[in-house]
């Protein structure tokens, strides 16, 4: 592989240059880099893209490349033909890349001219190598104006363009929620937000997003409005629920501007924007979504062990993206939910149809992104053929689905596009223009003629030779060629008199003469031009065909949506049949009644039949006899969290239109799902686990409504027993008295079961104790749990038997003390039942410790092993004991 001539020039200049003096090529590099400070500059030198200075240091670290030096400058390089792999990796690291090519003739004298021809950024990348087929590639923008925040995001590869807004005062919950669900690859912000604490905190949690800041004047409302009008070719934006003052306008307009300036495309296929309000979808804050592990697990962020995994039977990339978006945006409108359910049911009831479409979907490529490539003039002939094959398969699927309300587009148009491509493009065309053949024979008479000439040079020359032989009677007349003269007619000297007048003598040799004719010159010209003409004509014809297809971009995008919808509904049907799920009855009530409910993910990963199904019946309807608040107690590992989550997931599944893992389900559509489970550490933000726990709890109490579904697991666990119990108690009361929403509240504080409220029911996880053998039955039953069995779990986890024995001893002692402490304080806990509006929590609980400091010290002395201690440890212990008893 060759480094460029410039590299050699530079090398020689370098050798003559004074130390520290820059070579011309380095000067050229520096001047281009000056204009592209925010990008990694891929500087083309021969067969390599080279990076220098800071770019080289950073890229060599990120991509694990060898760092070398050119003079004093650090340098690293990648072969140009492998660039896409490296670019893809840099984009994943959130980098922007400027591609600087040699545009002058590399063989010309002097320094080759170079220019940045393309800027690739994570949110504007168009090539499939840079994209994740199953997820949208969003570029997002947030602006604040007059107390309102506008948020817009666009996937230019699919034309999905969304916007929403909220009051600045709701910034904290809304920004992280929106970022969490659309998960943009790149975010554009006004400089004024560089110091906004809420924005910066959210970004800290989402470090993989590439963020860039622009002066605030860029986000101009009226220019943006005009920009959107021009893009959508409308006179106003009423059709998109926007006007001149809408907060969504500035960020949406800026996105289009950025796209044009950066990716140099004005994305003609982006012809509209969907503005949505929170009320259209089930609201879920970022942490609830993470806790429920909907599209990714908490452990490594992959989709393994997530709800998405159970449902992932989609076959097309469009279906994969739509399924993801359904899971992130569950519906609140019952009619819409039922519409989806009916389509899922149609497939469930007709397995032949399900299998038929499932199989054909496997042969449908990403029509959405292909249509985008066509519209942006990026599609090559193979893309166009892929579009054709996919449309053909879709037409077969359509035949079966057209009568069932899946399709609304014209079928004829798809047939016409298929026919057009079929007639014009070869089955297996070359990718790049000029690399081989693309257009079919018979499509263009002109092209066919050039090909005839190109493919039949010998025959054409033979025919002409025969013609002249017949006309002149010279039988040994030959047409030959050489590189110097080109084609010529050779006639031996003996036949010289028979040579006609139109033969022009080119060269006289000893035994023969060489002639040409006007006709031969013409033939020679045609042969010489044929190859070039073929390439040029093919190019013109292909571009013409591509722009003909581009006229139907909207239709193709609409078709892609129909395919995605049919793929997702059939995939949900597939999951329902595979896992034995049922169609839930969804209405506008506030009921939540599940018989035989299961956790879809836990069940999937347990051996078949091992998951124990559980029921639930709660209702926030005023006249309902059911409670709306279930307090669930039970030992650790008994299955409380699983039970809580499974019910939240069932609600969510029902509201995306899916069947649910249960025997029977009646679900009143919920407006919000909150899930406060476990204690997630947020040390990166500098917040303690407990602070995070309380922040999330506060958010729930502030925003839940009567139509919400709240699951809370072990609230208050992050602090001392007394604090924790008091908080759990007060939170429960607030939920019961003020919010009155459906709540599942799991706790290990047995004292909470003393809460008394008509809308509260006690549930617990059943445990069987037989002859010293404890078994968690994972079955929910009415009532309160009696024991926490923590020591049993510790023993299962393999703690030494001596420790287990000792723990049992301590437990017995503690239980005696605790029983008396709790009975003494039951009265004071009852006083916590204040009305929720009052919420006076601070001093109302004063629980004494369950055991005294002396008891604690005594326990520690008894359990420590002096033989297994260094003198220093022993000294520390004595100091600690002294400190804890010194207050007495």
Residue number with CB closer to ligand ADP (569 or 642): 642
**Residue 385 per-residue DSSP state:** H
Residue number with CB closer to ligand ADP (6 or 696): 696
Taken in order 16, 19, 21, 23, the sign of the CA dihedral is: positive
> Which residues on neighbouring strands pair with residue 139, listed in sequence order?
154, 186
Contact status: 291 vs ligand ADP (CB under 6 A): no
Dihedral of the alpha carbons of 739, 745, 747, 751, in degrees to the nearest 10 = 50
**Of 637, 799, 807, 814, the one binding ligand ADP by CB under 6 A:** 637
Residue number with CB closer to ligand ADP (607 or 866): 607
**Residue with CB nearest ligand ADP?**
639
# residues contacting ligand ADP (CB under 6 A): 15
Binding mask 126-145 for ligand ADP (x = CB under 6 A): --------------------
At 141, list the tokens: 């923008």
> Which residues on neighbouring strands pair with residue 376, listed in sequence order?
none
Please choose, out of 176-184, 405-413, 633-641, 823-831, the segment that lies near ligand ADP by the rule CB under 6 A.
633-641
Contact status: 638 vs ligand ADP (CB under 6 A): yes
d(CA 105, CA 99): 18
> Which residues on neighbouring strands pair with residue 591, listed in sequence order?
619
Contact status: 13 vs ligand ADP (CB under 6 A): no
What value, to the nearest 5°, has the Cα angle with vertex 629 and ends 628 and 632?
A: 140
Give kind and range of the element (H or E) at residue 341.
Answer: helix 334-349
Contact status: 240 vs ligand ADP (CB under 6 A): no
Contact status: 295 vs ligand ADP (CB under 6 A): no
Contact status: 602 vs ligand ADP (CB under 6 A): yes
d(CA 304, CA 572): 18
d(CA 56, CA 74): 6
Closest approach of ligand ADP to the CB of residue 649, in Å: 13
Please choose, out of 230-238, 291-299, 319-327, 604-612, the segment that lies near ligand ADP by the rule CB under 6 A.
604-612
Contact status: 600 vs ligand ADP (CB under 6 A): no
Residue number with CB closer to ligand ADP (50 or 713): 713
d(CA 362, CA 337): 26
Contact status: 661 vs ligand ADP (CB under 6 A): no
Contact status: 634 vs ligand ADP (CB under 6 A): yes
d(CA 356, CA 348): 13
Please list every residue from 365 through 404 that binds ligand ADP, using CB under 6 A. Answer: none
d(CA 675, CA 294): 12
Please choose, out of 282-290, 421-429, 452-460, 629-637, the segment that lies near ligand ADP by the rule CB under 6 A.
629-637
- Let me know: does 282 contact 162? Beta carbons within 8 Å: no
**Of 201, 636, 703, 788, the one binding ligand ADP by CB under 6 A:** 636
Residue number with CB closer to ligand ADP (656 or 746): 746
Contact status: 642 vs ligand ADP (CB under 6 A): yes
Please choose, out of 61-69, 325-333, 427-435, 611-619, the segment that lies near ligand ADP by the rule CB under 6 A.
611-619
CB atoms within 10 A of CB 286: 19
Residue number with CB closer to ligand ADP (14 or 788): 788
Dihedral of the alpha carbons of 802, 807, 809, 813, in degrees to the nearest 10 = 160
Closest approach of ligand ADP to the CB of residue 715, in Å: 13
User: Which DSSP string do the residues of 507-563 spell out, in sequence order?
Assistant: EE-SSEEEEE-HHHHHHHHHHHHHHHHHHHHHHHHHHHHHHHHHTTHHHHHHHHHHH
Contact status: 778 vs ligand ADP (CB under 6 A): yes
Closest approach of ligand ADP to the CB of residue 687, in Å: 24
Residue number with CB closer to ligand ADP (319 or 613): 613
Query: 628 burial class (0-12, 13-18, 19+ CB within 10 angstroms)?
Result: buried
Closest approach of ligand ADP to the CB of residue 752, in Å: 15
Please choose, out of 172-180, 198-206, 443-451, 632-640, the segment that lies near ligand ADP by the rule CB under 6 A.
632-640
Phi, psi of 30 (to 5 degrees): -65, -35
Closest by CA position to 256, among listed 246, 267, 269: 267
Closest approach of ligand ADP to the CB of residue 766, in Å: 11
Taken in order 604, 606, 612, 618, the sign of the CA dihedral is: negative
Contact status: 641 vs ligand ADP (CB under 6 A): yes
Please list every residue from 832 through 861 that binds ligand ADP, using CB under 6 A. Answer: none
Closest approach of ligand ADP to the CB of residue 879, in Å: 36
Contact status: 611 vs ligand ADP (CB under 6 A): yes
Closest approach of ligand ADP to the CB of residue 847, in Å: 24
- Let me know: does 523 contact 464? Beta carbons within 8 Å: yes
At 92, list the tokens: 């994943």
**Of 96, 640, 666, 672, the one binding ligand ADP by CB under 6 A:** 640
Residue number with CB closer to ligand ADP (177 or 778): 778
d(CA 284, CA 294): 11
d(CA 313, CA 598): 20
Taken in order 345, 348, 352, 353, the sign of the CA dihedral is: positive
Please list every residue from 705 through 734 that binds ligand ADP, using CB under 6 A. Answer: none
Contact status: 748 vs ligand ADP (CB under 6 A): no
**Of 612, 631, 651, 730, the one binding ligand ADP by CB under 6 A:** 612
Binding interface with ligand ADP (CB under 6 A): 602, 606, 610-612, 614, 634, 636-642, 778
């Amino acid at each position: 592989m060759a480094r460029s001539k410039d590299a050699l020039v530079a090398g020689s200049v370098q050798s003559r240059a004074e130390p520290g003096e820059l070579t011309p090529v380095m000067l050229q590099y520096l001047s281009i880099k000056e204009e592209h400070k925010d990008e990694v500059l891929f500087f083309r030198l021969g067969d390599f893209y080279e990076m220098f200075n800071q770019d080289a240091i950073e890229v060599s670290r990120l991509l694990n490349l060898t760092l070398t030096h050119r003079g004093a400058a650090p340098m690293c390089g990648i072969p140009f033909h492998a660039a896409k792999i490296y670019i893809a990796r840099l984009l994943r690291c959130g980098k922007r890349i400027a591609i600087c090519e040699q545009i002058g003739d590399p063989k010309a004298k002097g320094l080759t001219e170079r220019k940045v021809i393309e800027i690739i950024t994570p949110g504007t990348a168009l090539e499939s190598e840079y994209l994740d087929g199953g997820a949208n590639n969003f570029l997002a923008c947030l602006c604040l104006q007059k107390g309102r925040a506008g948020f817009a995001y666009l996937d230019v590869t699919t034309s999905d363009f969304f916007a929403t807004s909220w009051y600045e005062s709701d910034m904290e919950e809304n920004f992280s929620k929106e970022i969490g669900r659309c998960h943009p690859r790149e975010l554009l912000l006004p400089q004024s937000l560089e110091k906004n604490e809420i924005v910066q905190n959210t970004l800290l949690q989402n470090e993989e997003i590439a963020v860039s800041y622009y002066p605030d004047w860029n986000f101009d409302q009226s220019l943006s409005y005009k920009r959107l009008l021009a893009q959508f070719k409308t006179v106003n934006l009423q059709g998109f629920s926007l006007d001149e003052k809408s907060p969504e306008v500035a960020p949406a307009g800026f996105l289009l501007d950025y796209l044009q300036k950066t990716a140099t495309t004005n994305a003609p296929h982006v012809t509209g924007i969907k503005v949505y309000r929170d009320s259209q979808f089930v609201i879920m804050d970022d942490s609830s979504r993470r806790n429920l592990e909907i599209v990714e697990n908490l452990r490594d962020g992959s989709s393994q062990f997530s709800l998405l995994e159970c449902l992932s039977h989609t076959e097309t990339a469009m279906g994969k993206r739509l399924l993801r978006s359904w899971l992130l945006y569950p519906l609140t409108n019952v009619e819409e939910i039922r519409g989806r359910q009916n389509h899922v049911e149609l497939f469930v009831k007709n397995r032949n149809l399900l299998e038929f479409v499932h199989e054909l979907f496997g042969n449908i490529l990403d029509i959405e992104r292909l249509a985008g490539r066509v519209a942006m003039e990026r599609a090559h002939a193979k893309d166009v053929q892929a579009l054709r094959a996919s449309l053909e398969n879709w037409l077969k699927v359509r035949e079966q689905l057209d009568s069932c309300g899946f399709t609304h587009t014209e079928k004829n148009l798809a047939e016409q596009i298929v026919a057009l491509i079929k007639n014009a493009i070869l089955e297996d065309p070359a990718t790049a223009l000029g690399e081989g053949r693309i257009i079919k024979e018979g499509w263009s008479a002109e092209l066919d003629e050039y090909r005839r000439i190109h493919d039949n040079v010998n025959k054409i020359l033979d025919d002409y030779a025969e013609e002249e032989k017949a006309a002149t009677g010279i039988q040994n007349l030959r047409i030959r060629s050489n590189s110097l003269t080109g084609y010529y007619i050779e006639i031996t000297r003996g036949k010289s008199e028979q040579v006609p007048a139109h033969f022009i003598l080119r060269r006289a040799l000893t035994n023969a003469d060489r002639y040409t004719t006007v006709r031969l010159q013409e033939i020679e010209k045609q042969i010489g031009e044929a190859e070039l003409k073929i390439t040029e004509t093919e190019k013109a014809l292909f571009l013409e065909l591509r722009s003909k297809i581009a006229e139907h971009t909207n239709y193709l995008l609409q078709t892609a949506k129909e395919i995605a919808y049919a793929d997702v509904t059939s995939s949900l049907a597939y999951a329902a049949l595979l896992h034995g799920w049922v169609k839930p009855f969804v209405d506008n009530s506030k009921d939540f009644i599940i018989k035989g409910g299961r956790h879809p993910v836990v069940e999937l990963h347990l051996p078949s039949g091992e998951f124990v199904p559980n029921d639930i019946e709660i209702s926030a309807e005023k006249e309902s006899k059911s409670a709306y608040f279930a307090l669930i107690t039970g030992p650790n590992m008994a299955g409380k969290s699983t039970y809580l989550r499974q019910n939240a997931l069932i609600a969510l599944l029902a509201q995306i239109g899916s069947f649910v893992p249960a025997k029977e389900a009646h679900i009143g559509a919920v407006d919000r799902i909150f899930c406060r489970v476990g204690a997630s550490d947020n040390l990166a933000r500098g917040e303690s686990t407990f602070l995070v726990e309380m922040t999330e709890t506060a958010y729930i109490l502030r925003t839940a409504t009567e139509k919400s579904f709240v699951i809370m697991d072990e609230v208050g666990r992050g602090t001392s027993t007394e604090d924790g119990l008091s908080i759990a108690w007060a939170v429960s009361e607030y939920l019961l008295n003020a919010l009155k929403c459906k709540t599942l509240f799991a706790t290990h504080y047995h004292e909470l079961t003393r809460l008394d409220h008509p809308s509260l029911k006690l549930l617990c996880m059943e445990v069987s104790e037989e002859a010293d053998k404890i078994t968690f039955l994972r079955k929910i039953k009415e009532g309160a749990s009696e024991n926490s069995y923590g020591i049993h779990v510790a023993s299962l986890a393999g703690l030494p038997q001596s420790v287990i024995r000792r723990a049992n001893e301590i437990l017995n002692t503690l239980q005696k003390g605790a029983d008396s402490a709790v009975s003494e304080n039951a009265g004071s806990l009852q006083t916590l039942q204040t009305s929720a509006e009052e919420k006076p929590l601070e001093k109302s609980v004063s629980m004494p410790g369950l055991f005294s400091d002396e008891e604690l010290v005594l326990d520690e002395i008894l359990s420590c092993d002096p033989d297994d201690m260094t003198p220093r440890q022993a000294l520390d212990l004595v100091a600690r004991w002294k400190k804890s008893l010194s207050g007495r």
